């Protein structure tokens, strides 16, 4: 069975729609070299425009929604990692912070 992701091209298409399309493909293991199929409005008449984009997903991968962090959270995590770097890899002083970040990232 072939599984495809599709994003319709129309007046209401947003960057968010495109991000979700790409995130889904990426999460399924689709490589950056995989071609995206441009489906014309009417078969055999590409001059009428593009109706949607489709990509065949890799069905062997477990698909998860991409996660994002707010800018403040990104800075907070970076500060914890910086502390480990400054301590030349010794994470004992920030071990509780690292465990909290790990728990937060795998539970969402």
Residue ranges, the chain, pLDDT below 50: none
* Overall pTM surpassing 0.85 (yes/no): no
Number of H helices and E strands in the chain, helices first, is 3, 3
Contacts of 55 (CB under 8 A, 6+ apart): 4, 5, 21, 25, 30, 34, 36, 37
- Taking Cα atoms as reference points, which of 102, 105, 26, 16 lies closest to residue 64? 26
Contacts of 82 (CB under 8 A, 6+ apart): none
> What is the model's pLDDT at position 107?
76
> What is the model's pLDDT at position 60?
59
């Amino acid at each position: 069975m072939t599984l495809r992701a599709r994003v319709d091209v129309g007046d209401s298409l947003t960057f968010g729609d495109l991000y979700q399309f790409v995130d889904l493909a990426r999460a399924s293991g689709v490589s950056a070299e995989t071609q995206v199929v441009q489906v014309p409005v009417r078969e055999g008449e590409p001059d009428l425009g593009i109706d949607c984009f489709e990509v065949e997903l890799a069905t062997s991968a477990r698909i998860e929604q991409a996660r994002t962090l707010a800018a403040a959270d990104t800075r907070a995590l970076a500060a914890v990692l910086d502390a480990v770097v400054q301590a030349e890899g010794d994470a004992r002083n920030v071990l509780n912070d690292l465990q909290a970040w790990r728990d937060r990232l795998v539970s969402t």
